[in-house]
């Protein structure tokens, strides 16, 4: 190619020299011009042709490399968390939306994790709001087209809707009991009686402000473990429930449950404060701008009140002891507290 470029330059130099010498005869200049143009075009075509050959060779090389790569990759992706082609079973409440693919880890020997395509290939008739057990098939595909599948069994639990949480009868209660949040060597006073405390917003906040400084053993938060708190508006509509009976769960007015990122705990903390009353003042002020009620009970003695409430708000088959999140079969969406 270098020789061809030099040839072009020599021709151009000859033309420049001819013009400079005044050689402008029609025949000669035309011959020189035509010959020069012919040589330039031929050389240009040759250069262009060589470039095309080189480009074609490079494309062929890349295509060959890609084909070679695809042919050499015969190993399908692998689901890291699968055991004998199955993922861990999933259980959730009817009406609860879940992301089946969330948290899956898939690896491949060639394809990067982000480039592996993971999708549901057969939903098995799964419906999030219909109780039953479904088998869902999930497929993973790498860039070479290799595929792998796993199955996951999903159980959708039927939920009963609890429209009324009834206090009274089996669940005795007392309204606005003075000194209920006072400190005693045996623990916060209300914890010694098996009855539900029902306080209006202002009474609760006054009690809290009067006695919280005495609870130096728990970071100045009246200590309350292993119980249930119900927060309602002034018409007794449930706006929040805190539940600590083995599982720590918070439930909102729509019946949604969460056991993560809670603003409260179920253990004592001498420095920062702990237990179910932690950060409750902020929630009350936010949730009850127009007034309302706070109702709570712990687990003294046989914990009859707590047990009866567990049946009404969380697990209808409760017979005592701690519970787990997957035992919940009660929805509190739109629930109201009724004082009998």
How much is the pLDDT for 80?
96
Nearest to 312 by CA among 169, 176, 194, 199: 169
How much is the pLDDT for 129?
85
How much is the pLDDT for 54?
56
How much is the pLDDT for 161?
84
Confidence bin at 108 (pLDDT 50/70/90)? very high
Query: CA dist 299 to 58, 93, 173, 193, 207, Å?
Result: 78, 27, 14, 9, 21
**Per-residue pLDDT tens over the stretch 168-214:** 999 999 999 999 999 998 889 999 999 999 999 999 999 999 999 99
Please give the share of the chain, as a percent, with pLDDT higher than 70. Answer: 79
Can you spell out the DSSP letters for 161-209?
E--EEEEBTTB-EEES-TTTT---TTSSGGGGSSSEEEEEHHHHHHHHH
Residue given tokens 């050389």 in the structure block: 43
| Cα separation of the two ends of the chain | 102
- The Cα 17–Cα 14 span in angstroms is 5
8 A C-beta contact, residue 77 and residue 116: yes
**Per-residue pLDDT tens over the stretch 43-69:** 445 444 554 545 555 655 555 445 545
How much is the pLDDT for 15?
44
- The Cα 17–Cα 99 span in angstroms is 80
Which runs of E-coded beta strand occur in the chain?
78-79, 90-93, 106-107, 117-122, 132-141, 147-157, 160-161, 164-167, 173-175, 196-200, 228-233, 238-245, 247-252, 257-258, 292-297, 330-331, 336-339
**Per-residue pLDDT tens over the stretch 283-302:** 999 999 999 999 999 999 88
How much is the pLDDT for 159?
81
Answer whether 0.95 is exceeded by the pTM: no
Contacts 24+ apart (CB under 8 A), 56-61: none
**275-303 burial, b if ≥16 CB within 10 A, otherwise e?**
bbbbebeebbeebbeeebbbbbbbbbeeb
């Amino acid at each position: 190619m270098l020789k061809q470029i030099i040839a072009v330059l020599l021709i151009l130099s000859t033309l420049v020299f001819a013009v400079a010498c005044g050689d402008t005869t029609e025949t000669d200049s035309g011959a020189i011009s035509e010959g020069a143009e012919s040589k330039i075009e031929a050389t240009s075509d040759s250069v262009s042709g060589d470039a095309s050959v080189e480009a074609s060779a490079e494309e062929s090389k890349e295509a060959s490399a890609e084909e070679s790569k695809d042919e050499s990759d015969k190993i399908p992706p692998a689901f890291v968390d699968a055991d004998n082609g199955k993922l861990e079973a999933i259980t959730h409440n009817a009406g609860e939306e879940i992301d089946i693919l969330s948290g899956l880890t898939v690896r491949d020997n060639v394809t990067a994790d982000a480039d592996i395509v993971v999708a549901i290939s057969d939903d098995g008739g799964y419906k999030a709001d219909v109780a039953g057990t479904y088998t869902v098939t999930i497929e993973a595909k790498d860039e070479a087209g290799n595929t792998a599948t796993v199955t996951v069994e999903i159980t959708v639990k039927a939920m009963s809707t609890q429209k009324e949480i009834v206090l009274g009868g089996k669940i005795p209660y007392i309204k606005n009991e003075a000194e209920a949040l006072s400190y005693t060597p045996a623990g916060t006073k209300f914890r010694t009686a098996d009855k539900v405390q029902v306080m209006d917003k202002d009474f609760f906040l006054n009690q809290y402000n009067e006695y919280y400084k005495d609870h130096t053993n728990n970071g100045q938060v009246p200590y309350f473990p292993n119980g249930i708190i119900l927060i309602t508006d002034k018409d007794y509509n449930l706006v929040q429930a805190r539940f600590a009976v083995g599982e720590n769960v918070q439930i909102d007015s729509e019946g949604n449950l969460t056991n993560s990122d809670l603003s409260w705990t179920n253990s004592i903390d001498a420095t920062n404060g702990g237990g179910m009353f932690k950060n409750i003042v902020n929630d009350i002020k936010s949730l009850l701008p127009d007034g309302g009620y706070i109702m709570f009970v712990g687990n003294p003695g046989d914990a009859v009140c707590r047990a009866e409430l567990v049946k009404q708000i969380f697990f209808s088959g409760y017979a005592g002891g701690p519970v787990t999140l997957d035992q919940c079969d009660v929805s509190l969406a739109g629930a109201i507290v009724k004082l009998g």
